[in-house]
Amino acid sequence: MSDEVRVTIEAVPRAGLTAQQLRQAVAEHPDALAALEVADPGRLAVAFAPGLGHDPGENAPFQATVFDPVGNRAVELRGTLDRPERAELRPSAHRPQPSREELAAAAQILRADPRFPAGQDVVVYRPMPPLADLENPDGTTVRRPTLGLYTPGEPTGLRHRIVAVDLVNRAVDWTPSGINVRMHHDCEHSVPEGIDALTDHGGPNQVRVRVQRGSTELWNLLVVRPRASAPQNPGVGGGVELRDVRYRGRLVLRQAHVPVLNVEYEEGTTFRDDAGFETRFNATGTDPVGWGWRLCDSPPRTILERPSTDAGNFQGVAFHHDGEQLRIVSELAAGWYRYASDWRLADNGDISPRFGFAATANPMTCMVHRHHAYWRLDFDIEGAGNDVVEQIDDTGSIIPEPVPIIRETSRKRLHPALYWQVRDKSSGRGYQIHPGEFDGTADAYGVSDLWFLRHHPRELDDGNPGPRDRAALNRFLNGESLDGTNVVIWYAGHYYHDQAHPQPHQGELIGPRLVLI
């Protein structure tokens, strides 16, 4: 039929330094190994370092954190892809999240400890916080990934324990300081998947996706899976990331992701969550480019649609077209939290960014808390530059007048504001940004609801400078012009979770609706 919808997926390489190239650059750098006080670059933790900018070429800038897990120290390299060994070197306080390999090694040490509980129902899982590093008297620190122990049959009722594991000295601290959780509680119902079940089997990091209806190409975009999403090096990912999004041949979004993801409890505990650790969910279909990418014949089901289990048959990014829109979805794990990273691209050009919140059995989430997700939307309507931002207020008029926003600023979703829009100054094309029904309004910890910024390649996240992991996007507000420039909009959604008094929307996805102009 002429209106038949076809979705095609093709693996494509990314511009940047592979882990091998980055490790070689460190070995050839005159100061890197000396700064870390290591002789063997093979012991360093490195990752893919993407080129920065809209169209990174051979000499594009990059930045990467090189980490020594033994000395628990890091340095940052800033240079160009063509000469990485000449990169500028800076000390870094960044401590990457524990890798899957570190967690597996820590679990092996834990199971060999004589205090490890007996029983077939014991689950070793990924808890919060992810690290419980220990400072030595001389000021050095020991890297210690944390592990959770779920023992539902424990006669004392201590169903959860969180331990810290020193991988270098192969030692387990059964009572690490600074772990602020109530171990006798058991919140949520689904038993967490163990560390061993979360093996990553590889597959490409990025694919090109095309949606065609008959002979018309509706969507053409790049999709980056969470494990490789920006901000990556340093950073904790941004969920499913979209890049170079074109609708009917026209560029609309250069980049879209969730680089900042926070949670705050009313009793004071806060976390900056990982948005790059993929976990299992259910998706049936074919894998046209290998592991981690699935074209589904029925809607994929994350923990939001199957709340009784943390298991699944797939890990990565799933696609499903329901006849009216393409859904792009993955499930993420940050400790016991489970997040649905979800995008909906409608055939009419509308875009619905979505994020969902759930958890496995844990000692924490039955306490009142609030999640804060911050989307970064790099609009390039008709190409980079020449965009304008406007606010549409409720003035009582049948046709309200847009109010230009000509300088960098932030806004809350408060009356009289109805919605915002970004348009190409010449063509008038663009998108309206309509708040989601359950997206809430920022409290003091959430800071704000929208930020309107001029594009800068390195402003991919807030750098997590604190305090208490609070979003620090205000540091980018320096009064730059937004009139006919390259515009980036940050949009925050705030999800309130009180398990004792659930709201009608709990378990639903939050996020705005981007309506094509």
Residue range 290-345, pLDDT digits in tens:
999 999 999 999 999 988 899 999 999 999 999 999 999 999 999 999 999 999 99
H-type alpha helices, 57-171: 100-112
Residue 357 in this model has a pLDDT that exceeds 80: yes
pLDDT tens by residue, 279-301 = 999 999 999 999 999 999 999 99
**How far apart are the C-alpha atoms of 336 and 333, rounded to whole Å?**
7
Neighbour count for residue 197 (Cβ, 10 Å): 15
User: Which amino acid, 24?
Assistant: Q
According to the model, what pLDDT value does residue 105 have?
97
Q: Which residues contact 211 (CB under 8 A, 6 or more apart)?
A: 5, 6, 7, 217, 218, 219, 220, 321, 326, 345, 347
**How far apart are the C-alpha atoms of 148 and 337, rounded to whole Å?**
13
Least confident of 63-77, 178-192, 363-377, 450-464: 178-192
According to the model, what pLDDT value does residue 387 have?
96
Least confident of 147-156, 243-252, 281-290: 147-156
Residue 110 sits at φ, ψ, to 5 deg, of: -65, -45
Query: Which helix (DSSP H) or strand (DSSP E) does residue 19 occupy?
Result: helix 19-28
**How far apart are the C-alpha atoms of 460 and 447, rounded to whole Å?**
18
Residue 489 in this model has a pLDDT that exceeds 60: yes
**How far apart are the C-alpha atoms of 229 and 155, rounded to whole Å?**
43
pLDDT tens by residue, 265-276 = 999 999 999 999
CB 333 within 8 A of CB 190: no
Neighbour count for residue 121 (Cβ, 10 Å): 11
Residue 25 in this model has a pLDDT that exceeds 70: yes
What 3-state class would DSSP assign to 21? helix
The fold of the 206-516 domain, in CATH, is Beta-galactosidase; Chain A, domain 5 (2.70.98)
Give the end-to-end CA distance of the chain in Å, rounded to a whole number: 29
Residue 507 in this model has a pLDDT that exceeds 80: no
According to the model, what pLDDT value does residue 232 have?
86
Would you place residue 144 in the very low, low, confident or very high pLDDT band (cuts 50, 70, 90)? very high
**How far apart are the C-alpha atoms of 97 and 78, rounded to whole Å?**
21
Domain 10-92 has CATH 3.30.505: yes
pLDDT tens by residue, 392-445 = 999 888 888 899 999 999 999 999 999 999 999 999 999 999 999 999 999 999
pLDDT tens by residue, 65-104 = 999 999 999 999 999 999 999 999 999 999 999 999 999 9
CB 38 within 8 A of CB 30: no
Average pLDDT of every residue of the chain: 94
Would you place residue 506 in the very low, low, confident or very high pLDDT band (cuts 50, 70, 90)? low
Residue (of 13, 29, 121, 123) closest to 75 by Cα position: 29
**How far apart are the C-alpha atoms of 432 and 41, rounded to whole Å?**
49
According to the model, what pLDDT value does residue 398 have?
86
According to the model, what pLDDT value does residue 504 have?
65
Residue (of 271, 269, 105) closest to 182 by Cα position: 269
According to the model, what pLDDT value does residue 312 have?
95
Query: Which helix (DSSP H) or strand (DSSP E) does residue 33 occupy?
Result: helix 32-36
Percent of the chain with pLDDT over 90: 84
Q: Where are the domains of the chain?
A: 10-92, 100-186, 206-516
Neighbour count for residue 259 (Cβ, 10 Å): 27
**How far apart are the C-alpha atoms of 22 and 20, rounded to whole Å?**
5
Residue 1 in this model has a pLDDT that exceeds 60: no
According to the model, what pLDDT value does residue 508 have?
74
**How far apart are the C-alpha atoms of 121 and 396, rounded to whole Å?**
62
Residue (of 343, 370, 369, 367) closest to 355 by Cα position: 343
Would you place residue 129 in the very low, low, confident or very high pLDDT band (cuts 50, 70, 90)? very high
CB 132 within 8 A of CB 178: yes
Residues pairing with 362 in the sheet: 187
**How far apart are the C-alpha atoms of 174 and 148, rounded to whole Å?**
10
According to the model, what pLDDT value does residue 281 have?
96
| Angle, CA of 341, 347 and 351, to the nearest 5° | 40
Percent of the chain with pLDDT over 70: 98
Higher pLDDT, 499 or 504: 499
According to the model, what pLDDT value does residue 505 have?
63
Would you place residue 2 in the very low, low, confident or very high pLDDT band (cuts 50, 70, 90)? low
Residue (of 236, 222, 190, 160) closest to 464 by Cα position: 236
Average the pLDDT over 444-473 and give the result: 93
| Angle, CA of 326, 370 and 497, to the nearest 5° | 80
According to the model, what pLDDT value does residue 512 have?
98
**How far apart are the C-alpha atoms of 336 and 216, rounded to whole Å?**
43
